[in-house]
Structure formats: structure tokens, C-alpha cells
Amino acid sequence: MSDSNATPSVNADVAIIGAGPAGLMAAEVLSRAGLAVHLFDAMPSVGRKFLLAGKGGLNLTHAEPLERFVTRYGAAQDHVQPLLQHWGPQALRDWATGLGIETFVGTSNRVFPTDMKSAPLLRAWLHRLRHPGPGGVPVVFHMRHRWQGWSTGTGGPLMFHAPSGQVQVQARATVLALGGASWARLGSDGAWLPWLEAAGVAVSPLLPSNCGFDVQGAAAHGMAQGWSTHFRERFAGQPFKSVAIRATDSQGQQFHRKGEFVATATGVEGSLVYAASSLLRDEIARNGQASFDIDLLPDRSAEHVLAQVSHPRGPRSLSSHLKSRLGLEGIKMGILHERLDKEAMNDPARLAAAIKALPVTVSAARPIDEAISSAGGVRWDALNPNLMVETKPGLFCAGEMLDWEAPTGGYLLTACLASGVVAGEGVARYLQQTGPR
């Protein structure tokens, strides 16, 4: 630089913004292709959400057949399916093995590293990116570099705020892998959305996915909103185990699955609720509320439950009777008392019906920053099959910032990585076609 007051600049074949799984995978593909890759992230270190996801055991992918796997992406299935057919669950396991990380298939066909941890995989991955071997070019990492858009608002060099001040980056191609808007403290804050919108890139609003919900109060107890004080103080944080949820929205879409979820201070969250979250969220958007039924005893028939509830209980209390005949106690008894008035609790037919289908109404999804993931983002009709923005040649998008969502169980990570592969390969082809600067 001849002018000591000029904005520092970086020139690169490829700038990748976002050091999560999608960005790192795109960087690996391009590094192997012999391209000079500079990777930028606002956080002090890479893969922070990836590391958090692995704290309870890193769920890499799912071992179910691919034809079933691709159905997990709902309305975006037709767009995500080609990515997964190109680089899917088995490719992910093979890639992990290549990093020295063996995997195994656990319960419910979920796939984990043998040590269950994310840190060893991330360390091995970063070593490969920094030392790619023959033919590869080491990836250059720029941490604490927060993207600020383009120098002219909709074009020109990329602008970053760094510890040293403003930095501008001129790249032949750019991959945006900035994540959605969940867990902002780990780097995914959705700040990119208005910049892309201003640049003419079609985007859908970012919405919470795999999220909890606030419940409406029980009319029988005169509560407009939330759990009663008694239920909240006694049961918030406790799980509903071995239950099932059934829901049908106003469009006729249905959800029915067995599992478990947790009562929170304001409502419900946990794996079973997360699995139903897109249906519940969209129904709330349409009608202001959504409802589902809890089957507290999914392994017992309605006839059996009615027979046991109706069995003479003699001098025993109702709670003792239901615990003895059906094993109902704790939070399951608590929610029956929460949702039913005294008359219904003492009517065997109504009580038995409630045990098999207890209605719960939710009025709002929890804030997006609390969600595991987000829906919405860059629309598929704005991208070509290589994940390049049609109206901005050389700009590619990957990962959770695309307009898709999926349940937990390895589906999120697999699609993020697959999109990184496709975007990286798309960049390599684009640069081959456009030639050197």
C-alpha cells in the first residue's frame, strides 16, 4: 500500500464468509482444487455452533435409506435432494473416516463419532485445511472479521470490520455461509439478510425452527396465558417421557410421533416438539394459535385406559388409583390436573379420553435466538444448481442461510456440509470458465 491511510486490502481467488460447517467444507473443496481461499468469520474461533452441538454427543448424520432421508426437508425437499444425492450421509461418514474419525450407528439410526465429541473432528479438519498436502493450497483464516456488506452497498469489494479497523477484500468469487439467525452469540445473527435484499437477492424472512412454544392457559382454570403458578413451579424443566403428539393443521397436514419433550416455565420444548415445530409455527402464523394432542400412554389402547380408569377405586385417591392402574404420576398427573377441571377429573370417560388425547394450545414460537435452527433465507429461485446467485455472478450461498429447514437427527449438519461441497465445486467451475483476473 502506497498510502498509509488507505483501507487495508486482501486479494484472493475466493473469499468465504462464515466458518461454520458449510463454509469450512467449501474451503476444503476449493483448497484441494488449488485455489487461494481466504476464510472470514466474526467470531474469535471457527465452528462455535458446531462445537456446541457436539456437547451432548455430535450427531453427524442419520443412517436411514437416502430415499427416506430426503423427505425430512419438507417443502424444500426438491431443492435439497440433489445436494444429498451428490454428497449424502454415506459420503459424510467416509469423509469423517478420512479425517481419522470413526463413526457408529446409535439408537434411532443416528450416526455419531465413536468418541461422541466434536472437538477432535474439528481439530483434524482444521489441520487438513491448513496443511492440505500435494496440490492443495492452505486456507488463510481471518478471525474477528465481521462482514459489513459491499463497498458500494450492492457491489464492489467486500467490506469487513476487523480489530485493526476496516478491511476490504477483492475476490474472484465469494461464498456466503453465514448461517441463519439462531444462537446469535455464536455468530449466526441474520444481519446479512437486509444486505442481500438490498442487492436484489430474493430472500424469505428468517423464522425459528426446531424451537419451543409458549402455551395458552387452561380455560378451565381461568388462565389466559401460560401454565399455572403451581404447575410451573413444580414441573418446569421436567420431561414428558414415552408420550406421543398428534396435530393436524388447518391445511390438513398431520403430525404424529412418539417420543419425549420438556415442560418449560412458559410452555414446551424438546425433541418431540421440535419435530412438530414447522407445522405448529406455520399454523400460528395463519391463525394466531395451534393445537396438538398429547397421548400420555401411547402404548395403551383407549379401551384399556377407559377400563382401568373406570375400575372401582374404593377408598383410594384418584392419584393413587391412576398410579396403581396405569402408572400415571408426576408431570403426567400434573398436566391432567392443569388442563381438566374437577368435574372432568371425576368423569371416567372424559378423563380416559384426556389421557389419550389431552389438547394443548400454543400461541407463539419462542424467539428465534433460542431456536436450534432457523427457516427462511436465500430463496432457491434466486440460485442456480451450483448455488450461485443468478443476478450476481461469482456470489454463492451455502448452509443454513438457504431457505430450508430440517428436524434434528443429523439432517441439519448433513445438508449444510452437502451445500458446502456443491457451492465449492460450483465456484471452482465458475473460476475455470471465467479465467484469471
AA letter at 318? L
With contact defined as beta carbons under 8 Å apart, do 57 and 116 qualify?
Answer: yes
Helix (H, G, I), strand (E, B) or coil at 166: strand
CA angle 178, 181, 186 (to 5 degrees): 70
9-208+370-434 domain in CATH 3.50.50.60?
yes
DSSP lists the bridge partners of residue 293 as 246, 359
User: Which CA distances in Å does 81 have to 75, 127, 276, 421?
Assistant: 11, 30, 21, 14
AA letter at 306? L
pLDDT of residue 406: 95
Reading the chain (437 residues) residue by residue, the pLDDT tens digits are: 334 455 688 899 999 999 999 999 999 999 999 999 999 999 999 998 898 887 778 999 999 999 999 999 999 999 999 999 999 999 999 999 999 999 999 988 999 999 999 999 999 999 999 999 899 999 999 999 999 999 887 778 999 999 999 999 999 999 999 999 987 888 889 999 999 999 999 999 999 999 999 998 754 444 557 899 999 999 999 999 999 999 999 999 999 999 999 999 999 999 999 999 999 999 999 999 999 999 999 999 999 999 999 999 889 999 999 999 999 999 999 999 999 999 999 999 999 999 999 999 999 999 999 999 999 999 999 999 999 999 999 999 999 999 999 999 999 999 999 999 999 999 999 999 987 76
User: Which CA distances in Å does 71 have to 158, 373, 428?
Assistant: 37, 18, 29
With contact defined as beta carbons under 8 Å apart, do 172 and 14 qualify?
Answer: yes
Q: Which secondary-structure segment (H or E) carries 245?
A: strand 239-248
pTM of the predicted structure, to 2 decimals: 0.91
- Distance between CA 73 and CA 77 in Å, rounded? 5
DSSP lists the bridge partners of residue 360 as 292
Residue whose C-alpha cell is 395403551? 300
AA letter at 413? L
Compute the Cα dihedral for 324, 330, 336, 342 and give only its sign: positive
pLDDT of residue 6: 56
Q: Where in the chain is the domain with CATH 3.50.50.60?
A: 9-208+370-434
pLDDT of residue 2: 36
Name the phi and psi angles at 335, rounded to 5.
-75, -25
